[in-house]
Structure 1
Amino acid sequence: MSLILLSPPASEPVTLAELKQHLRVTHTDEDALITGVLVAAVRAVEARGGLACMPQQWRLTLDAPPMETLHLPIAPVASIDAITVTDGEGAPQPVDASVYEFASGSPGRLRPAGPWPQPAPKIDGVRIDFTAGYADAGAVPEPLKQAVKILAGYFYETREAAHETRVYTVPQSVDALLAPYREFRL
């Protein structure tokens, strides 16, 4: 199983102006740096929480079709864009929507509703393309935006991973803000 980003988000859930206000930065001298820490903070929050803040397309590849309910690894899931199975000639063949059921949200779930065609290759023969993320920046929950701002502020102030007398860690408030959005499986 592998997960591949097909199409990154077109924008971030926090604007440069919002982050600069949070950082109390009024000049434009470091806009490129602040934009960089903003993007890094968003990606770190998404990775830590198994989340997609803004709409983005992903591909999950499997060796075989799912036999039971499959929880998609990034939430919230907005849609299944395509499912294909690779045939004996190596060509992707579309899987008819009648052979699976899909539930969007957190987590997105996919369950077989009938027999799936079997892929010819043994590795990565099934491709599930899906869109994950909140509809727009206004739909992203405020606690996630706050986690991004806190982490971006931390990256801005602490530009090195360690110092000779101290190792830096992610602020605990980031994990506390992410906790309600993480998926836990039993």
Structure 2
Amino acid sequence: MDFRRTSTALTREQKLAVVSVADVKAQERITNSYEDALIGQYIEAAYDYLAGPDGWLGRCCLLEETFEAYIPNPGGGFELPIRPVVDLSSITGFEVSDGAGGYDPVSAALYAKSVNEGFGYILHSGQSSWPISIGVDPRRYKVTFKAGFGAADDVPSPIKLGIIMLASHFYQNREATFSDNRITAVSRQIEFGLRNLCGRYRISRDHS
């Protein structure tokens, strides 16, 4: 399934609303402001490491963003590629190609929207067949939806703490940790910390 983000890319300021520079400074017991800009960069890097289509959490958005997903044939139904989809209102459109570069709404009688444990679905109603057009078009059907926990206050606290932990790690270890003779201890601490804090929100593409 092909998909793309259609909302404006998140800014650093939006990401810092989830975890602030002050949060990381409190974690590291930093009392000066000399490196605030650098800490902001570390927070953004930690956010990007966990979230988004390629993030460690597995196609999970933290702040709400809008996407379009494309599929050649819905079959009996399909799952939306980004999560969490909060409720049915987050799935805002389902359309079929008009063959001339545009899209027309699919009849509401042909499908149902569903949300289960943060995953969004388009399901065939079984009333009649999907609209058919000639030729192979990998973008014949388009669904528009929103994914993300919502605003900054809606992001789960374990994920926020995971961002703080990662940003603190970046602050403390400004070179690659494998050049340090403590590599095993450092890497395993970070790995176990992330898994303990954020692992419950991490889901692979096969839902494992």
Aligned partner of 1:71 among 48, 66, 79: 79
Q: Hey, what's the Cα distance between the residues in 2 that align with 1:81 and 1:9?
A: 20
Does 1:62 pair with 2:77?
Answer: no
TM-score by length of 1: 0.83
Does 1:53 pair with 2:53?
Answer: no
The unaligned stretches of length 5 or more in structure 2 are: none
Fraction of identical pairs, as percent: 28
Are 1:85 and 1:119, in contact at CA under 8 Å, matched by a contact in 2? no
Instruction: Report the CA distance shift for 1:36/1:107 in structure 2 as closer, same or farther (over 3 A).
Output: same
Q: Hey, what's the Cα distance between the residues in 1 that align with 2:180 and 2:195?
A: 25
Does 1:99 pair with 2:110?
Answer: yes
Give the match's secondary structure for 2:56: helix
Q: 1:66-122 CA deviation, whole Å, 9 max, x = no partner?
A: 223422222211311222222221212222444222223512222122433246652
Deviation at 1:42, TM superposition (A): 1.2
Instruction: Report the CA distance shift for 1:162/1:131 in structure 2 as closer, same or farther (over 3 A).
Output: same
TM-score by length of 2: 0.75
Does 1:116 pair with 2:130?
Answer: yes
Instruction: Report the CA distance shift for 1:90/1:41 in structure 2 as closer, same or farther (over 3 A).
Output: same
More strand by share: 1
Q: Hey, what's the Cα distance between the residues in 2 that align with 1:147 and 1:118?
A: 47
Indicate the residue corresponding to 2:6 in structure 1: 6
Indicate the residue corresponding to 2:192 in structure 1: 172
Q: Which amino acid aligns with 2:119?
A: P
Q: Hey, what's the Cα distance between the residues in 2 that align with 1:173 and 1:141?
A: 16
Q: 1:11-33 CA deviation, whole Å, 9 max, x = no partner?
A: 23222322332232232222222
Deviation at 1:53, TM superposition (A): 1.0
Q: Which amino acid aligns with 2:63?
A: M
Give the match's secondary structure for 2:49: helix
Give the match's secondary structure for 2:6: strand
Q: Hey, what's the Cα distance between the residues in 2 that align with 1:106 and 1:154?
A: 30
Give the match's secondary structure for 1:77: coil
Q: Hey, what's the Cα distance between the residues in 1 that align with 2:171 and 2:130?
A: 49
Indicate the residue corresponding to 1:185 in structure 2: 207
Indicate the residue corresponding to 1:86 in structure 2: 97
Deviation at 1:41, TM superposition (A): 0.9
Alignment RMSD: 2.6
The unaligned stretches of length 5 or more in structure 1 are: none
Instruction: Report the CA distance shift for 1:95/1:138 in structure 2 as closer, same or farther (over 3 A).
Output: same
More helix by share: 2
Deviation at 1:9, TM superposition (A): 4.1
Does 1:36 pair with 2:41?
Answer: yes
Instruction: Report the CA distance shift for 1:69/1:164 in structure 2 as closer, same or farther (over 3 A).
Output: same
